[in-house]
Amino acid sequence: MNDPILIIGAGLSGLAAAQTLHTLGEPVVVVEKSRGPGGRMSTRREQLGEHAVSFDHGAQFLRAHDPGFRQVMDAWERDRWIAPWRGQFVRIEGDTLVAEEGRLRYAPGPGMNRICQEYADRLKEHVQYQTRIAELREEGGRVIASTEDGTTVGAFRAAICTAPGPQTAQLLEGFRPSLATAAASTTYAPCLAAMAAFAERPNVEWCAASIKNGPLSFVAEDNARPGHQQPLGPSRWILHASSTWSTEHIQEDPEVFAPLMLEAFGQLPGVKDLDQPVHLRGHRWRFALVEKTTTDSTAKVEGTPPVAIAGDWCEGPRVEAAWCSGVRAASAIRKALT
């Protein structure tokens, strides 16, 4: 059997690349530094007393702009991985609250990581967690990947790197210089997230709000998401801070910024007499939303053995872009190998 193709990262772009290659009969190995799949589409699990609950603290929903991705979403909907997220969505600007109608959002259920988990389950033992690739080099016509302590992960026929742009730039520096330069040109806005759980549903008129001009940019009721209801458990809410506020507070500890975000939640229109939460946790997404992508979305491959880059930072700040770039990188690598 051929040596496998290495994919760095088990976020959606890496898993879309791996799934595409796997379906074509190519052996793959996906290496992920975290304990599970999903990346920025992950789901945090917590035990709150007797209740096992989850929080979708990263990406919130999906939309399709590209007809090809629309078809992919249709298939996910048929398989019941995603469903329309119905409920009272509002836009808030200052004290003004406007109901949003006619904009259909889809969300995976029971958690945001459903899609990545499904793909990872299909790839089974070909996904290796808790392994951070720290170095790539070439030896005997193969890509050799190793971790920080020098352990070799394997020898590969080709590689696709989906770590965020700045991290990909470091990995590929001196190894695939033109890809490293493309990756280094990307920029991101951070996003601070707070996960709050209340004993009872707070008095909130809506289930999700997009907010302009304030500390928060988005608030959503996690229990109201499709396939997500945990009716006996506490009422769970996700708060996302705006890019400006996140940049100003990124150095603070979660114990400092999460209560400030909760206070801002309590002051939004349509929210009355917010009780103290039974659980409040903060999370820093340093590379959250792509502000500047690489210069074009053509899948780039460099060198022999071939290496490609993929990720939302190649195409745009959303789930759809991550998926499309992963599939494009997989096709480009396959072409380079034939």
Ligand X SMILES: Cc1cc2nc3c(=O)[nH]c(=O)nc-3n(C[C@H](O)[C@H](O)[C@H](O)COP(=O)(O)OP(=O)(O)OC[C@H]3O[C@@H](n4cnc5c(N)ncnc54)[C@H](O)[C@@H]3O)c2cc1C
Binding residues vs ligand X (CB under 6 A): 8-14, 31-34, 39-41, 58-62, 132-133, 162-164, 167, 191, 193, 240, 285, 288-289, 311-312, 317-319, 322
143 pairs with which residues across the strands? 138, 156
Q: How far is the CA of 318 from the CAs of 3, 250, 284, 321, in angstroms?
A: 32, 22, 18, 5
Select 25 or 35, whichever has its Cβ closest to ligand X. Answer: 35
Select 225 or 240, whichever has its Cβ closest to ligand X. Answer: 240
Q: How many helical (H) and strand (E) elements, i.e. helices and strands, does the chain have?
A: 9, 22
- In the bound complex, what is the minimum distance in angstroms from residue 101's beta carbon to ligand X? 19
For residue 100, give every residue at least 6 positions away whose Cβ sits within 8 Å of its Cβ, in sequence order, or none.
Answer: 89, 90, 91, 210
d(CA 43, CA 32): 16
Select 86 or 272, whichever has its Cβ closest to ligand X. Answer: 86
Structure tokens at 130: 């808790």
Select 138 or 275, whichever has its Cβ closest to ligand X. Answer: 138
Structure tokens at 86: 């119905």
- In the bound complex, what is the minimum distance in angstroms from residue 199's beta carbon to ligand X? 26
CB-based burial, 309-321: b 16+ in 10 Å, e otherwise? bbbbbbbbbbbbb
- In the bound complex, what is the minimum distance in angstroms from residue 216's beta carbon to ligand X? 12
Select 85 or 203, whichever has its Cβ closest to ligand X. Answer: 85
Select 236 or 318, whichever has its Cβ closest to ligand X. Answer: 318
- In the bound complex, what is the minimum distance in angstroms from residue 49's beta carbon to ligand X? 27
Structure tokens at 84: 């329309």
- In the bound complex, what is the minimum distance in angstroms from residue 168's beta carbon to ligand X? 8
CB 142 within 8 A of CB 157: yes
Select 11 or 111, whichever has its Cβ closest to ligand X. Answer: 11
Helices (H), 113-205: 114-123, 165-172, 177-184
- In the bound complex, what is the minimum distance in angstroms from residue 134's beta carbon to ligand X? 7
- In the bound complex, what is the minimum distance in angstroms from residue 328's beta carbon to ligand X? 12
Q: How far is the CA of 86 from the CAs of 62, 105, 123, 225, in angstroms?
A: 13, 8, 32, 8
Select 257 or 285, whichever has its Cβ closest to ligand X. Answer: 285
Report the 10 Å Cβ neighbour count for 172: 25
Half-sphere exposure of 96 (CA within 13 A, CB side): 5
Q: Is the dihedral of CA 67, 70, 72, 78 positive or negative?
A: negative
- In the bound complex, what is the minimum distance in angstroms from residue 38's beta carbon to ligand X? 7
26 pairs with which residues across the strands? none
